[in-house]
A and B are shown apart, each in its own frame.
Chain A
Amino acid sequence: MLWMTMGSLNAAHAEQQDVLKQLGSRVEQHAVLRADFTQTKQMAALKRPLITSGKLLYSKVHGVVWQITKPYPITYILSEDKVIEVSADGYRKERSVKDIPGFAQISRIFKAMLSGDVNALNAYFESKVFENTVQAEPNQTAWQLQLTPKQTQTSRFIQEIVVTGDQFVTSIHIHEPNAASTAILFSNTEAAPTLRDAELALFRGK
């Protein structure tokens, strides 16, 4: 992919803020997003990268369903106040937000990344924006957001996050301090105004 930087590294702070604001208003905040994902995880402990793929369901109101289908089916449901793990045999394990230190933040960051919510991300990260107008489609600007944690608490887990997108988020690269990294690519993204009944049932539980 070719990136033509419009907002440069040396750009004045005010200008950056301006671009950020524009980007914030341009990446439309959809109520519901559905997409396919492929995640590539690299860790010192692994001989080869670990590749998983599956489906993402994002709801602005209810949370996120991260459904891994390959190589091993397992679903994570991330709602406002709890995280539910559903294994292949349908066994649900719930954990409440209030039991997990820092969970509320991680959950908020994850949701903001998936939906490209720049304003929400700004609370936790210093961000830099790079933009590129695609000639063929003048209305469609591709963008790249480079995030570094503001708080030392977050920087223990995350060194840097790079989010790319156009109308939707297309990829997320997470770099961890110990040479580990995670790359998530999204495809077939579609937006919808509301959840389907079956999807809603996932959040509500059985």
Chain B
Amino acid sequence: MKLLSPERLKLHAFIWLVLAAMSVVSCIAQFSNQSPLQTNLLALLPKTERNVVAEEAVTQLVNSAGNRVLFLVGASSQEVAITAAHSFANQLRALNKSSGQPAMFKQVFLEVPALDTNQIADFYAPYRYRLLTHEDYKGLSDGPLHLNDQLQQKLYAPFRFGLALPVEQDPFGFADRWFAHLPLKNFKLEFENGLLVGHSADKTWVFVSVDPEGSAYSDVTQDQVMHAITTAESSLKQAHPGVELLRAGAVFYASKARQSAEKEMHIIGLVSLSGMLVLLYLMFRSIRPLVLGFLSVGFGICTALAATIYYYGEIHLITLVFGASLIGEAIDYAIQYFSAHLGAGKDWDPVSGLRRVSPALMLALTTSVLGYCVLAFMPFPALTQIAFFAIIGLVAAWLSVYLLLPATLMQPNSHPPEAAVDIPQRFLNIWQRYMTKRSCVMIVLAVLVISVPGLFKLKGNDDIRLLVTQPPELVAQEASIRQITGMSNQHQFFLVEGETTEQLLMHEEVLTQQLDQLVARGELAAYSAISTFVPSESQQRKHQAAWQANVFKHSTLLKETLAEAGLRDDIAGALQNDFQHSNKNLNVDDWLKTSFSTPFRHLWLGKTQQGHYASIVLLQGISNPQLLARWADDQNINAVTYVDKAQSVSTLFHTYRLWSAVWLVCAIVLIYGVLSFRYGPRVGLVVLLPTLLGIMFTLGLFGYLHIPLSFFHMMGFMLVLGIGVNYSIFMREGIMVDVKTHQAALLAGVLLSAGTMLLSYGMLILSEMPVLSSFGLTMLMGVGFAALLSLMVLSVER
């Protein structure tokens, strides 16, 4: 490298300044607009469904119900509960109107219009000869023999329950039984005094729900909704002290996750930054490296932030928290340069100093970027974004060392280098005297002996809940709500498709017939399907034919049966006349227009973009989801797809976890290639070995400690590889330098790097997000061991 003039160095620093100003302005501009922060963890998942319509159906389901906020207002007396629920709902409505801004709630739902049973009966009555339950169809096909029994039962029942047609319209109760099989009521809530009421051991609960206008994951919605709810809750508690309020909804989880992520980002960023500054000061005893280190890291993070938001249009919470911990790695480059400065003492020349650390920095950056590149190729949007962020941030921080530091660190160190590196120097001397190659081999063997048995105890964890922070009090409240209302939060469903509406309904019927068996065996509590409300036309024709063949064909018998039971003589004729004039089939379009179909309309997807028709069959109370998934696989019904988003995600995690092991091996081979290129195959292996052992030792410990390995631990190992190798490279490059004080200074730099690294990643363990804490734990242990073991590189001759 040609020696550069001070003017040239100043030009470089000026370029850096311009770049830095650009990225700061860009960051401020992007954040002052609409916040580009994405808090929906599930949005980071890749598409899991092969069927495009299924993926759409999942999105639609989440959009229709996923934003809803549920409340139960409970008190020991029903009257108090009702009054309290009214005042709570009214307060929410008042807040909604008075906010001055566009309404934040689509609706606040408390009063329910009574399920108009007359309306349902009136709608179905004209089609009653086309609607039969499976049992009645079978019974009717066997012949008209049982009609008498059924007539008697209809007449003698001491009270009517549920939907029923009058005796003269439905003397045998076929319509009544068909009505009874409609899943109009699946929840434990009851309709009382215009409200939905639930009961638990000692309390009465009134159901209130709210549909926010925006997404639960938008921070504007979160702030507005949380504020309104908190206000309404505190005045509720004031007016009715004994009243309990239970809540459930994505908005609570999302807002909690955002709060804790923001808090964590602040704490992690603050602690690791200040810890780092303290360490830097202890080492260099000067403010200048502190400021410069801070500037170069800040430049890296800022540029990464600006680039990520520019490229993706948003930045995910996980990326941001991860970014806060990237500080620990980004500062390494600057530290190496400062160490060179420290070690050179009076002979300092900024450019030759740069030349001295340049190979180490280059190699370290290459291996890190390689590691992150592997991460970028994971088919997981979250990781791609993290990798993108990390690569930009590291390159920018590395660039800072070249552009900014030489111009700003012109003066030699005022402290004598021997004094500054006294402790590392002594450590180095002792290590190189006592730690021979043989003792290193012993260490390697010891690590292997300890870790290998642990490896066999390793277990995996691919649960989707890893992605979601689960504050215990929210989880408990949601569980109580599920228990009181009988609502489930299972999202498994079948997607049914057909070229025409009729074909779709027929496919549904094939499926529901199978599902009925599951219900009978108790493996499924219930399901809701459009074809339950509107049978296919072919079913309807079959039912009508059964009526014709077994009832109306025998008109004398019909007349006699009715007369015997005491019914008026004209009724038989009226029925016959009715039957002959009923020639219209019930169809889905008419059904969708009724008001009682509202709670089920989300089952109907209608015409898809592919020109097909699609619907959902929603399942409730699945006793064993895995068993059901296997059952669904075995059925293989035409045009029916089983969709279990949670299970798909877990399967995805599982696949990725296994694949990431393969990727890890690939990355190791790649890095080994780079190292052998620089050091030759033997020393290359020595440089790689501490990191490999660090990874193995960490894995072994996880095995002993029964920490199940998740995909996110594997991602951690990917980074451990990149960073751990850095330390060995710095060590190796350090001892290749002739001057002893330089060696000691570089060793001190590595120790400092490891210290800052452990500080920043160690802080991640405290994260409430399982993803980040497992990531942090892996980093802490992996990098910690790798840094310790990298000292072995010192025992290898130059």
Contact = CB atoms under 8 A, between A and B. Distances in A.
B662 interface: no
Interface in A93-138: 95, 98-107, 110
Contacts of A30: none
B478 interface: no
A149 B152 CA distance: 29
A83 interface: yes
A98 B188 contact: yes
Interface stretch (B156-164, B488-496, B716-724): B156-164
A46 B567 contact: yes
Contacts of A74: 152-153, 156
Interface stretch (B189-197, B347-355, B653-661): B189-197
A13 interface: no
Interface stretch (B178-186, B246-254, B374-382, B444-452): B178-186
A153 interface: yes
B193 A100 contact: no
B167 interface: yes
B159 A50 contact: no
Contacts, number: 86
Interface string B563-578: 0001111010000000
Interface in B152-177: 152-153, 155-163, 166-168, 171
Contacts of B166: 43-45, 178
Given A83-B161, A98-B185, A41 B155 contact: yes
A45 B566 CA distance: 9
Interface residues of B, number: 38
A151 to B, nearest CB: 6
Nearest to B153: A74
Contacts of A85: 153
A8 B115 CA distance: 37
B486 interface: yes
A68 B159 CA distance: 13
Contacts of A151: 114, 193-194
B156 A101 contact: no
A198 to B, nearest CB: 21
A47 B168 CA distance: 12
A110 B190 CA distance: 17
Interface in B115-135: 115, 117-118
Contacts of A101: 115, 117, 162-163, 184-185, 191
27 contacts: A39-B158, A41-B155, A43-B166, A44-B166, A44-B168, A45-B166, A45-B171, A46-B568, A50-B566, A72-B152, A95-B180, A98-B187, A98-B188, A100-B161, A100-B180, A101-B163, A101-B191, A102-B115, A102-B191, A103-B161, A103-B162, A104-B190, A105-B190, A106-B160, A150-B193, A151-B114, A156-B118
Given A106-B159, A151-B114, 12 more contacts: A39-B158, A44-B168, A47-B566, A47-B567, A66-B158, A74-B152, A99-B180, A103-B161, A103-B162, A104-B190, A110-B158, A153-B114
Interface of A: 39, 41, 43-48, 50, 52, 66, 68, 72, 74, 76, 83, 85, 87, 95, 98-107, 110, 150-153, 156-157, 178
